[in-house]
Structure formats: C-alpha cells, structure tokens
Amino acid sequence: MISYNGHISYASAPAKIILFGEHFVVYEKPAILASIDKRVHIIVIKNDNENSIIINDRIFGKKYYPISVFADLERFSNDIYFPLLYTIKKNSAFKSNVGLEFTINSDIPYGMGLGSSAALSVATVACLSNIFKEIKKEKILELAIEAEKLVHKNSSGADCIVTTYGGLLLYQKNTSFRKLESKRELSLFLIPTGIKHSTGELVDFVKKFKSSNLDKFHKLANASENITKRAIRAIKDGNEIMLGDLMNENQILLEKIGVSNLIIDKIIGLCYKYQALGSKITGAGGGGCVLALIETEIKNRFMHNMEKEGFQCIPAELETDGLIY
C-alpha cells in the first residue's frame, strides 16, 4: 500500500488488449485478455481543510466541484468525471465530506479499445481505499465494475478484471478467470485507426444485431467459444502460426456482427500484405485499434511498412502486474 499518513495515496493500473472473444464475452462466452505496458497513474491528496473535489487530468483538464456535489450527483451525469465522482460517493467508507485532489496521468489512449476507463476506475477505488479504509482487491474490483457500468451498462467486467489482476487471462463472465502461461513471447503490435469509439454504443449495436439474428448470433458466439478454446492450446504450446490463424478467424466473426469498418478492413488488409501471422480488432471495434501478431524476425520490417502506409505501429508488451497500490 502506498499512502503517507492517510493523506497522500498513489495507485496505478494497466491498459489491456483482448486477444480473443470480445463482444461474445458479454454473452458469457470465454475471452482471452492481457494487460500491457501502458498505465494510468493516480495520486490523491486528502485535504481536511478544503471543501472541494479537484480533478486534474493531463488530457481532460482541471475541474473543481464543491463537496455538496455528492448530495445531487445525478445532475452531473453528463460530466466527464461523473464515473469518478460516483465511485467516491458509492462506498460509504469513503467519507465524502473532506476535500480531495486527484492528479491523473495516463499513457493509455482514450477510446481506443485499450481499457482506459476500467484502469481509471480500478486505480481510483484503490487510491480511495488507501486513504479511507483498506479494502480487499476483490472489493476494489466490484466497486470499479459498478462504476464502469455507468459508462456502459452491459459491461462484461473483463476490462476491470484484467487491469486489477494483470497478466494473460482466460475470462468468462459470471464464472471465473484464470491465468494463462504463454510458452513464448508474443510480438504483438497495436495499429490505431485514429477513430475513437464508444464501447456502450457498440455493445448496444451488437445487442440489436443479436435480437434480429438470433440463430446466426448463436452460431457466431459458439464459433467464438471454439476459437478461444483452440487459442488456449496454441498459447500453451507457443504455436504462433495457429494463434495468428485463430486471430484471423476471430476477425471474420467480428466483421459478421458488424463492428468492423472500412479503415479497420484496410489495416487488416495491410497486415496480410506485410505478412502478419494474424490481425484483428481488439476491444469494441468501430474504430479503436487493430492488434497484429508478427513473427519476431520480421517485426522491424513490418513496423516500417505500416508506417510507410501512414499507420502508427505500437509494440504491445504483455505485462504481468495489474493494479499497484
């Protein structure tokens, strides 16, 4: 726990990628996720003599709220910091009658399918728990998922799980998660589309697709489950060729449920052209990032070619640490 006299507290949580199973995970199919080497860092200072909540984020700017904000929080439901304010209010152990100053520093791009809001929720709850009342990781996770559901109400909880526990995980909603071991280091790259997405809107879109294509959706969801199960074996065996093929198969399912688009298709086409082993959307789609698996020997050439085509190519190193607090 990193806290000084209960007055200053620090927490940090990682970004994530989804290797297999996004969207279908909302309907209780298994997914494989991993934390990566980009993090949000939060410092909270408790100030007993202040009567405001100050939130200062490098990207979204600095805002002041009177402590009375908690008495009528619904009024702020469209505020950018509403989920964070809600998280403070939600747990009675976090006294909401003292001044708090949050400084948020994140290197997780926002709206890119990398779990920035889950990492922020988890790190916020952890910081508050350092200051007010130590709570267990499971409870931090539960509160963070609740806050996440304000952002998108059908959240599978996958993002919060992986940012809390870290590592490479197999996750199934309402069931369990377990850590997976990869036999070899995976050379994974993120290629941003440059289009920000709203996870909530895309999850709603898939829900509508499901209700008007019940049979089709059921088959696609079973196919996703099958891909994920084969991917567990490929990861254990360090079979990159198989893993790449499975990523390509997974992408076809995501295209069929309508969460791909022209720019994603273009990037996927370039990944084929420049000999990626596999490539797919990671996260909700509709923009965000494409995830590509590359043979280590050709990774520099791949990056160079993608950059020549006008696309940034960011290495995504898997990280074992989840929440640090």
Distance (Å, whole) CA 325 – CA 122 = 10
Which residue in 127, 158, 168, 277 binds ligand PMV (CB under 6 A)? 158
Assess contact for 254 and 223: CB atoms under 8 A: no
215 counts as catalytic: no
Q: Which of 48, 159, 215, 245 is catalytic?
A: 159
Binders of ligand PMV among residues 90 to 149 (CB under 6 A) are: 113, 115
Q: What is the DSSP letter of 76?
A: G
Q: Which CB, 88 or 119, lies closer to ligand PMV?
A: 119
**Residue 32, interface with ligand PMV (CB under 6 A)?**
no
| Residue 14 is a binding residue for ligand PMV (CB under 6 A) | no
Nearer to ligand PMV, 17 or 125 (CB): 17
| Residue 323 found at the interface with ligand PMV (CB under 6 A) | no
CA gap 216, 178 in Å, rounded:
29
Under rule CB under 6 A, residue 322 binds ligand PMV: no
State how far the Cα of 67 lies from the Cα of 99, in Å rounded to an integer: 7
Q: What secondary structure letter does DSSP report for 136?
A: -
Q: Cα separation of 4 and 106, whole Å?
A: 22
Instruction: Name the nearest CA neighbour of 209 among 275, 255, 274.
Output: 255
User: In this complex, which beta carbon is closest to ligand PMV, that of residue 158 or of residue 169?
Assistant: 158
Query: By CB under 6 A, is residue 199 in contact with ligand PMV?
Result: yes
CA distance 265 to 295: 21
Supply the minimum distance, in Å, between the C-beta of residue 288 and ligand PMV: 6
Residues numbered 34-53 forming contacts with ligand PMV, rule: CB under 6 A: none
What 3-state class would DSSP assign to 1? coil
Please identify, among the stretches 22-30, 51-59, 71-79, 263-271, the one whose residues bind ligand PMV according to the rule CB under 6 A: 22-30
Segment near ligand PMV (CB under 6 A), from 5-13, 135-143, 150-158, 225-233? 150-158
d(CA 247, CA 17): 13
Q: Is residue 23 near ligand PMV by the rule CB under 6 A?
A: yes
Dihedral of CA 281/283/288/294: which sign? negative
Please give the distance of CA 161 from its chain centroid, rounded to a whole number: 9
Contact 311, 267 (CB under 8 A): yes
Contact in structure between 31 and 253 (CB atoms under 8 Å): no
Residue with Cβ nearer ligand PMV (135 or 170): 170
Q: Counting every residue, how long is the chain? A: 325
For residues 38 and 116, is the Cβ–Cβ distance under 8 A? no
Contacts to ligand PMV from residues 272-291, by CB under 6 A: 283-284, 288
Give the whole-angstrom CA distance, residue 211 versus residue 259. 16
Phi and psi angles of residue 146, each rounded to the nearest 5 degrees, phi first:
-60, -45
Among 91, 130, 156, 250, binds ligand PMV (CB under 6 A): 156
Q: Which stretch binds ligand PMV (CB under 6 A): 6-14, 20-28, 130-138, 272-280?
A: 20-28
Shorter beta-carbon distance to ligand PMV: residue 18 or 127: 18
Q: Does 22 sit near ligand PMV (CB under 6 A)?
A: yes
Q: Which is nearer to ligand PMV, 113 or 192 (CB)?
A: 113
Q: Closer to ligand PMV by CB, 129 or 167: give it.
A: 167
* Residues near ligand PMV, by CB under 6 A: 22-23, 25-26, 113, 115, 155-156, 158-159, 199, 203, 283-284, 288
Q: Which residues are catalytic?
A: 159
